[in-house]
Amino acid sequence: MASWSPGTPCSCDCFVSVPPASAIPAVIFAKNSDRPRDEVQEVLFVPAGTHAPGSWLQCTYIEVEQVSKTHAVILSRPSWLWGAEMGANEHGVCIGNEAVWTKEPVGEGEALLGMDLLRLALERGSSAQEALHVITGLLERYGQGGSCREDPTPFCYHNTFLLADRTEAWVLETAGRLWAAQRIQEGARNISNQLSIGTDISTEHPELRPHARAQGWWDGQDNFDFARVFSLTQQPVRMEAAKARFQAGWELLQRQQGGITAEVMMGVLRNKESGICMDSGGFRTTASMVSILPRDPTQPCVHFLTATPDPSRSVFKPFIFGVGAAQVPQVMSPTFGAQDPVRTLPRFQTQVDRRHPLYRGHQVALGLMESEQDRGQQLRQKQRDLEQEGLEAVRGLLAGERAPPHQELGGLFRAFVEKENQAYA
């Protein structure tokens, strides 16, 4: 079993608001990706594709059988791996994942990372429910496992997922190949590095209850409470801390019931007092994402991504799938081919500089914010103004006040990345 230590990173927070909790007729999704503080997260655009029958796909550690067609996706991912911490596809499906430990042992054998499962689900699922079935099917066939950080010491975990589309959301929580899922058709919901599905299970692995009974975790008589039955009796310190973050996140959402907007979600992700905006123990929020998924299928879904750490000092920039959508080089990390430490065996024996251009500029800006008060305040104001410009453009678009050509929509993210880069120049 993979070892766990008090300093081991294991924090993330995902949120969703389904009408009537949202202020507008839209599902609103949000996630903070909390990872080792020096890990670089890039934003990757992958166009839709067609693939030859019988072809195979290389994920982070293992290959899986490829499907004939894959959807276009926008991903926020640790730049050393194949999968993603969070992302969306052209059909308005969003997914975020979380680390979790349960009574089921976590093996160190290489299989699919939870982040690989997330990307595969976005590439193959046209709804949240379909994406959930993709994950559970792949989990059954290939399993989950392998080290989840760029370090020679293995760090392994199982995963929970929050999946959303224009109409609903799903929480999927796993323990090895076993799983339980809960459908969210209204209201607000969050997940934070712990099992949270109790007795309200919408669907589950057919062997979930028989396995729990065989292990002596459930007597078969009491109501089956997934979180109670499968959670560790003695929780690691950081998982205990996750309970406080989960409660704080839930309270922040409840205070805004009926009035949740993208801006509200950004505020939640920036909340340092609760620990949701993380920076402790060599660990911090390395990237953030907020998505607006309108109920009206004629309106575009909008995905705001930072591509930089610490959302309280970052810019949420809008991305929309459109004709002009393409990879933005300023948020793409350098590649190292066969010499990449993740590709050479034994893995992760050396380190490489994965910082992309926007990350480098943002690092300089953060230094100035901390060391030069006047210059730092000017930069922070530029960030706020740029983000507000993006929010106003999106508001006008969704309100029908402005209908730019599809080519302009597809290039929106690139335009805002370039403006942010110029602000740091």
Active site (catalytic) residues = 12
Tokens (6 digits) for 281: 């123990």
Hey, is 241 helix, strand or coil?
helix
The contacts found for 167-170 with CB under 8 angstroms, 24 or more apart, are 167/27, 167/127, 167/295, 168/18, 168/27, 168/128, 168/129, 169/16, 169/18, 169/27, 169/29, 169/128, 170/128, 170/129, 170/132, 170/202
Contact call for residues 277 and 266 (beta carbons, < 8 A): no
Q: Does the bond joining 346 to the residue before it have cis omega, within 30 degrees of 0?
A: yes
What is the distance between the alpha carbons of residues 331 and 307, in angstroms, rounded to a whole number? Answer: 7
Q: Which of 420, 187, 399, 167 is nearest to 307 (CA)?
A: 420
Enter the DSSP assignment of 312: G
∠ CA(55), CA(57), CA(59), 5° rounding? 170
Q: In terms of DSSP H, where are the helices of 295-372?
A: 357-371
Instruction: Name the residue type at position 415.
Output: A
| 127 Cβ contact list (under 8 Å, min separation 6) | 91, 93, 165, 167
Contact call for residues 100 and 193 (beta carbons, < 8 A): yes
